[in-house]
Amino acid sequence: MRSAKVYVKGIEAGVLTENDNRGYLFRYDSAYFADSSKADVSLTLPKTQKEFESDYLFPFFFSILSEGANKAAQCRQLKIDERDYFGLLLATAGDDTVGAVTIKPIE
């Protein structure tokens, strides 16, 4: 099982987890959820107290990943399998992403 903290504009918004048995889970941090001034992570992951579940990496998080030649170069340089989307997300979405969301691995 691998997990990461999800940040919106540098503020911890929730936790994204890859679980071998259940696929992927995303849940909002309770303090972030309680603050009505804080935005949803995405339209497809609106603020709610329920846990989101998916058999596949949520499309919003998948969309943060590079594609094509850039993805191939990142995978080669970082020695990550091109089909390990969560591993690639953990390795590349910690800084300087397109948009307000960053992802940082939980050690």
- Residue 5, helix vs strand vs coil: strand
At 47 the pLDDT is 95
At 58 the pLDDT is 95
At 99 the pLDDT is 79
Tens digits of residue pLDDT in 64-75: 998 999 899 999
Report DSSP state, residue 43: T
Tens digits of residue pLDDT in 5-54: 999 999 999 999 998 777 999 999 999 999 999 999 999 999 999 999 99
The domain spans of the chain are: 2-105
Per-residue confidence at 59, pLDDT binned at 50, 70, 90? very high
Cα–Cα–Cα angle for 67, 46, 56, rounded to 5 degrees:
40
The pair of structure tokens assigned to 70 is 């850039």
